[in-house]
Amino acid sequence: MTLFRTMINTVQDEESLQQFILQNIHHFHNLSNSGYDQLAEEKNDIRQFIESKSALLENIDYSLSQTRAFISILFDFCEIFGFIASSRIENTLNKREIYIGKRREASKLFLLGVRENSDYINRFESICKLINEAVQEEATALNAITTFANYYLKVVRDTHYDYAAKIKSLIDDRKDDFVFLQHPLISDIFEVNIQDVVSAESEIIELIESYKRNFVYPRGIGSIGLLIEEGTDYVEEIDKIDITFIKIRDIAYHRVKGLSTNLKGRGVLPLETIHEIFVYLYRYGRMHYAKMISAFEYIQFEDISNPIEIIDWGCGQGIASLALKEYMDSHGIEPEIKSVTLIELSELTLKRASLHTHKIYPSSTIRTVSKDFNSLIPHDVQTRNDTTKIHLLSNILDLNENFFSQSDLISLIEETQKGENIFICVSPYQSDDEVDRVDAFKRHFEEYHPRDFTRIYEVENSGKLCDPYWNCNNNYKGNMNVFCTHINNGCDCKWTRFIRVFKVII
C-alpha cells in the first residue's frame, strides 16, 4: 500500500491528519528524494488525497516545521505531475503564509491561473527570473533546473506543438540573459521530438530522471595527517597580521575586486580554486559570521566547567570557528579549548581553514578531516567523555539526502560524542521543508534523550512579509544592531536565518 493510500485510509479529521504527518514526515522526505517510478506509483493516490482531504489541510498546526514541510513537499508533487488541483494547496499556502522559495514561486506561474495557452508564453520571463534567483538560493541548481524542465513538460502535455516551439525560440533568444538556460538538461529536452506527445512526455521524464540520478555529491576518503596551507603568498600576508574575520575578508575583497564573483551552487559544492575561496569569503563570509555571532549570544559559556572540544562540521574556511573565538575574546571568556576538529571535503579549503585555526587557537590541537560526511568513521571525530563538545553546523543540516544521510550522521555523533554537547545549527531560511531537516536533527535528540536535552535558543527570519529579513549584506559592518535601511526600496542583499541551539548529554 502506498504512503498516500495509507494516509487516505487513516485520516478522518484534522487531528488524525496532523498525527499522520508528524509520525511519517521522514517517509515524505524520502519519497520526495525518490525517483519518478516510485513516485508515479503514488500519483493517483496523491491526486485523490488533494481532492478529498485538502479541506483538512487548512486547520492543522503550521507552527510545526513538519506540517510546513509536508505541504511544501505536496506542492512539489503537484509540480511533477502538473496537477491543476495544486490550486487547493495554494489556498492553504497563502492563508498560512508558508514560505516555499523562489523555485516553487516559479512553478506556481505554470500550474495556477492558466486560462489560455498564451499564458505559458507570457509568463516565460517571470518564470525565468524566479528560476535564476532559485539557482542562487538553493544548494545546487538541481531542483531549479528540473522545475524549469517541468514547465516545458507541462507546455508539451497541455498545449500543442506551436506553443512548445515558441518556448524553444524564447530560450534561444534569452540564453545570455539567463545562464541556466544553457544547462545540458535544457538543451537535451529541447532535442526531443514532440510531435507524439505521449512519447515526448516519456522521453523528457527519463532525461530529467537521468540528470537527477547522475547528480552525485563528491565523495572523499580523506588524507592522512594534518593538512595546512603552506608556501603561498596568502600565508605570508596572514603572518604579518593579527588575524580577525574583518581582516581576512578585506584580503578576499581586494583579491576578487574587478574579477568574476560567480560561484556554482552557492558554494555548497566543494570549492576548487583559490579564486573561488576568495569569492566565497567575499560574497558569503559576513552572512555566516554574523549568524554565528547571533547564535553565540545566548550560550552561557562562562558556565562551562569542562575543557572544550570544538567540532566544525563542513568547516569551509573556518569562519564559524573564527567567529566563536572572537566572540569569546570580546566577552572575556577564556575556557580551556583542548582541540578543534575541522571537517571539510575540499582539501584546498580545508588547508586554509587549518591555517586560520592554527593562528587563532595556538594552544589547541587541530585535527583536519578531508571527507564527506557519509565517509566519516568514528576515529575521525572521536572525542573525550569528560569534555564539553561544541558542534558548529553552519549551512549543513538543511542539505538533503543527495549530500549526506542525516540518520547516519546522528548515529556517528551518538557513538563518538559521549558527555555534554552543545549544538549550534545555523542555516538560511530557504523553504519550509529544508527548515524541517534542521528541526528533524534537533527532534531526534529531544525525543531520544528527553531528560538530558535543553533548548538554548531558537529563531527564524524567513523574509516573508510578516517576518522581516534579519540583516543586510551591504550594511553589516560588525555591529549587530545595524539593519538594512533599503528593505522598503527593493534591496536585494537581505539575509534570512534559521537557528537552533541546544544542549544534550549523550
Q: Report residue 338 CA to chain centroid gap.
A: 31
Instruction: Tell me which of 345 and 265 has the higher pLDDT.
Output: 345
Task: Enumerate the CATH 3.40.50.150 domain ranges in the chain, comma separated.
Answer: 233-505
- Judge whether 373 and 315 are in contact, CB under 8 Å: no
pLDDT of residue 198: 92
pLDDT bucket at 463, cuts 50 / 70 / 90:
low
- Judge whether 318 and 195 are in contact, CB under 8 Å: no
Sign of CA dihedral 408, 410, 411, 415: positive
Least confident of 380-384, 404-408, 412-416, 499-503: 404-408
pLDDT of residue 433: 82
Least confident of 111-115, 413-417, 420-424, 490-494: 490-494
DSSP strands (E only) in 171-313: 308-313
Give CA–CA dist 169/101, Å, rounded. 28
For the chain, the distance separating the N- and C-terminal CA atoms, rounded to the nearest angstrom, is: 37
Tell me the backbone φ, ψ of residue 459, rounded to 5 degrees: -155, 150
Instruction: Tell me which of 453 and 183 has the higher pLDDT.
Output: 453
Give CA–CA dist 47/4, Å, rounded. 9
User: Rounded to whole angstroms, what are the CA distances from 241 to 234, 289, 412, 477, 480?
Assistant: 11, 19, 38, 20, 25
Q: Which residues contact 378 (CB under 8 A, 6 or more apart)?
A: 412, 415, 416
Q: Which residues contact 140 (CB under 8 A, 6 or more apart)?
A: 215, 264, 265, 268, 269, 402
pLDDT of residue 467: 61
Whether pLDDT at 38 is above 60:
yes
Give CA–CA dist 406/374, Å, rounded. 9
Kindly report, residue by residue over 157-169, the tens digit of the pLDDT.
999 889 999 998 9
pLDDT of residue 487: 39
Give CA–CA dist 470/484, Å, rounded. 9
Output the average pLDDT for the chain.
Answer: 87
Give CA–CA dist 19/318, Å, rounded. 41
Give CA–CA dist 156/190, Å, rounded. 11
Whether pLDDT at 221 is above 80:
no
Instruction: Tell me which of 349 and 488 has the higher pLDDT.
Output: 349
Whether pLDDT at 265 is above 60:
no
pLDDT bucket at 261, cuts 50 / 70 / 90:
low
Kindly report, residue by residue over 282-305, the tens digit of the pLDDT.
888 888 898 899 999 999 999 999
pLDDT of residue 214: 77
Highest averaged pLDDT of the listed ranges 71-80, 95-104, 128-137, 264-273 = 71-80
pLDDT of residue 403: 82
pLDDT of residue 257: 86
Give CA–CA dist 83/42, Å, rounded. 13
Biggest CA-to-CA distance, the chain: 72
Torsion on CA atoms 105, 87, 165, 146, rounded to nearest 10: 50
pLDDT of residue 435: 86
The total of other beta-carbon atoms located within 10 Å of residue 366's CB is: 21
Tell me the backbone φ, ψ of residue 217, rounded to 5 degrees: -65, 135
- Judge whether 185 and 208 are in contact, CB under 8 Å: yes
Give CA–CA dist 71/77, Å, rounded. 10
Locate 120 and state its grid cell: 505559458
pLDDT of residue 85: 61
Whether pLDDT at 96 is above 70:
yes
Q: Which residues contact 470 (CB under 8 A, 6 or more apart)?
A: 461, 494, 495, 496, 497
Are β-strands 471-472 and 494-495 bridged in parallel, bridged antiparallel, or unpaired? Answer: antiparallel
Kindly report, residue by residue over 59-95, the tens digit of the pLDDT.
899 889 899 899 989 999 999 998 876 677 877 777 7
Whether pLDDT at 267 is above 80:
no
Counted residue by residue, the chain has a size of 506
Mean pLDDT of 476-505: 61
Burial class from Cβ neighbours inside 10 Å (0-12, 13-18, 19+) for residue 257 reads exposed
Whether pLDDT at 473 is above 60:
no
Write the DSSP string, 335-377. Answer: --EEEEEEE-S-HHHHHHHHHHHHHH-TTSEEEEE---GGG--
Instruction: Tell me which of 506 and 142 has the higher pLDDT.
Output: 506
pLDDT of residue 219: 65
- Judge whether 178 and 131 are in contact, CB under 8 Å: yes
Structure pTM?
A: 0.81
Check if CATH label 3.40.50.280 holds for domain 233-505. no
Give CA–CA dist 317/276, Å, rounded. 11
Kindly report, residue by residue over 137-148, the tens digit of the pLDDT.
665 678 889 999
Q: Which residues contact 484 (CB under 8 A, 6 or more apart)?
A: 469, 471, 472, 474, 475, 491, 493, 494
Query: What's the one-letter identity of residue 426?
Result: V
